[in-house]
Structure 1
């Protein structure tokens, strides 16, 4: 079957990989001039399979006023005359209900576990260099009450197969000596030895090369998709500046571009772009962390990528607008130096600002649409790299008519 994948980010490329391995003739259409140049470009770098709990959780509600009103808050809301923004925020609040949030957490953990197994299989099969390490993850807490709550939540997640242990401040430093100067700030931490890290952009570029050279996948860059051609309940082609591309099936993996493309087909995807920031600095030997670290107080993540350190965080609900880029990047740098002052050369930081395509409940949209040969694999938010391989496996199974290893209804559009 001829399958056309729309988007060459990590979700689109992994989808193409699973489809090509199934024997399909696969074409990828990408509007940018290379792979993974949007949300996949310089994300946090952590493959956090055990930390995929939704942002929408009852525990966030008491913190929302401070997060939304303080200028240095990790979460920042910039109101706009945009009905989509307000619909998304209302749906987010509804998704914070306790039972729904707990069920979502379990479903995300299942998708994370599938994604980890699928990535391991890919890494074993293909020679891909992307600074991949299985280095574990340490989430550090500065507030004793927050740490106690985390330990209780850890016990709950362990029932779903999560492998974690609680550490006091001294044990955190023993595990990651780069935290020594920050020890007085710490109440404790949760260590998950199974977590991993890697460079999503390098992974995507290398996978694109594997797709072309080993699996015969055709990738057309600088080919933005403007609209669909439909007939009798099916998508028969997409329109681009280079003409129409026809296929037997289409997979929409365009991230933030998915919603406007599908709106003309009467599909309103519950997605909104959440802005995030990152720094990539040359790591200082012996001073940069070798374990992935998350500072929960600041909502910042630290991932070692070879000789570099990736620092990422912040969530802005502001649409595609970026009004305070330099100010937010400067804040990110100051907060990183607070916990890892000697981790590397901050003066040489490569900066990035990107828009994560997020759903209100944090679950991606995977599966069928009202058009029988049009499929979704989009809306992964900040977890695109973590969930990409599992999502690709699910969509390939669905297209092939196989029973996916997960409940596809949990990730369906209009769930």
Structure 2
């Protein structure tokens, strides 16, 4: 079967990979001039399969007034005359209900476990070079009460066989000596040895190369899709400046770009861009962290990527407007210097601002649409790298007519 994948970010490329392995003739269309140049380009770099809890959770509600009103808060709301923004915010609040948040967390954990196993197999089979490490993750807490709550939440997971360890501040520094300067700030941390990290952009570039060389996938860069031609309930072509591209099936993996494209077909996707920021610094040992670290208080993640340190954080509900980029990047740099003051030259850091395509409940949109041969794999928010392989494998299984390893009904438009 001929399948056209729209988007060459990490989600689109992994989708093309599993489709090509199934023997399909795959074409990928990408508006940018290369692979993984949008939300995949300089994201947090953590592959956190055990930390996929939704942003929409009852625990966030008491913090919302401070987060949304303070200019230096980790989460910031910038109101706009945008119906989509307000609709998304209302849906987010509805998703914060306890029973729904718990169900969502279980579903995301299942997709995360599938994605972990799929990525391990892909790395084994294709030997991609993307600064991939299985270095574990340490979530550090500054508030003793929050740390104790985290320790109690950990106990049933450990009883169920999950390897996690609660560490006091001194043990956190023993595990990660680069935290020595920050030890007075720490109440403790939760260490998960199984977590991983990697450079998502390098992963995408390497996978695109494998797809073209080994699997004969056609990737057309600088080829934006302006319209899907869809008479009689099915898509027959993707319209581009270089002409129409016809296929038997189409998979939309365009992140934020999925919304206007499908909106023209009458399919409304509950996706809104959440702006995030990152710094990438040269991080010489021994002052740079070796494990991935998450500062829960600041909502900032740190991922070692070869000889570099990726620092990422912030959530802005502000549309695609990059106007506050300089101030937020400066704030992110201050937070990083507070935690790892000697990790590298922050003045020479490469900066980045990206827009995560997020759904209100943090679950991606996977599977069928009202059009017979049009499929979704989009809306992964901050979890795109973590969930990409599992999502792609599940969608490829559904396109092949097989039963996916996770129930796609949980991730459908009508969930």
TM (normalized to structure 2)?
0.99
SS at match of 1:117: helix
What are the equivalent positions in structure 2 for 1:175-254 lying under 5 Å apart? 175-254=175-254
- The aligned residue for residue 15 of structure 1 is 15
Cα 1:269–1:247 shift into 2, 3 Å: same
- The aligned residue for residue 116 of structure 1 is 116
Distance between the aligned counterparts of 1:97 and 1:163, measured in 2?
29
- The aligned residue for residue 395 of structure 1 is 395
- The aligned residue for residue 2 of structure 2 is 2
- The aligned residue for residue 321 of structure 1 is 321
Shift of 1:345: 1.2
SS at match of 1:232: helix
SS at match of 2:229: strand
Are residues 1:105 and 2:105 paired? Answer: yes
- The aligned residue for residue 284 of structure 1 is 284
Cα 1:102–1:162 shift into 2, 3 Å: farther
Distance between the aligned counterparts of 1:53 and 1:182, measured in 2?
26
Residues paired across the two proteins, number: 415
Gaps of 5+ in 2: none
Shift of 1:161: 5.5
Are residues 1:171 and 2:164 paired? Answer: no
Shift of 1:284: 2.4
Are residues 1:148 and 2:159 paired? Answer: no
- The aligned residue for residue 27 of structure 1 is 27
- The aligned residue for residue 364 of structure 1 is 364
Gaps of 5+ in 1: none
SS at match of 2:99: helix
Distance between the aligned counterparts of 1:93 and 1:358, measured in 2?
14
Distance between the aligned counterparts of 2:164 and 2:404, measured in 1?
28
Distance between the aligned counterparts of 1:31 and 1:162, measured in 2?
41
What is the root-mean-square deviation of aligned Cα atoms in Å?
0.9
Q: In the alignment, is the contact (CA less than 8 A) between 1:7 and 1:30 conserved in 2?
A: yes
Distance between the aligned counterparts of 1:158 and 1:248, measured in 2?
47
- The aligned residue for residue 380 of structure 1 is 380
SS at match of 1:328: helix
Q: In the alignment, is the contact (CA less than 8 A) between 1:4 and 1:28 conserved in 2?
A: yes
Shift of 1:216: 0.3
Q: In the alignment, is the contact (CA less than 8 A) between 1:284 and 1:342 conserved in 2?
A: no
- The aligned residue for residue 261 of structure 2 is 261
Shift of 1:334: 0.6
Shift of 1:156: 4.5
SS at match of 1:332: helix
Q: Deviations over 1:205-263 (max 9, x none)?
A: 00000000000000000100011111321111111111111000000000000011000
Shift of 1:149: 1.7
What are the equivalent positions in structure 2 for 1:274-313 lying under 5 Å apart? 274-313=274-313
Q: Deviations over 1:275-321 (max 9, x none)?
A: 00000000021000000000000000000000000000000000001
Shift of 1:162: 3.6
Shift of 1:127: 2.2
- The aligned residue for residue 406 of structure 1 is 406
SS at match of 2:129: coil
Distance between the aligned counterparts of 1:389 and 1:211, measured in 2?
14
Distance between the aligned counterparts of 2:154 and 2:262, measured in 1?
39
Q: Deviations over 1:82-109 (max 9, x none)?
A: 0000000000000000011011101101
Cα 1:356–1:32 shift into 2, 3 Å: same
Distance between the aligned counterparts of 2:383 and 2:328, measured in 1?
21
SS at match of 2:4: strand
TM (normalized to structure 1)?
0.99
What are the equivalent positions in structure 2 for 1:325-336 lying under 5 Å apart? 325-336=325-336
Cα 1:337–1:210 shift into 2, 3 Å: same
Distance between the aligned counterparts of 1:158 and 1:254, measured in 2?
38
- The aligned residue for residue 47 of structure 1 is 47
Cα 1:250–1:160 shift into 2, 3 Å: farther
Distance between the aligned counterparts of 1:84 and 1:311, measured in 2?
30
SS at match of 2:279: strand
Distance between the aligned counterparts of 1:83 and 1:114, measured in 2?
35
Shift of 1:158: 4.5
Q: In the alignment, is the contact (CA less than 8 A) between 1:282 and 1:345 conserved in 2?
A: yes
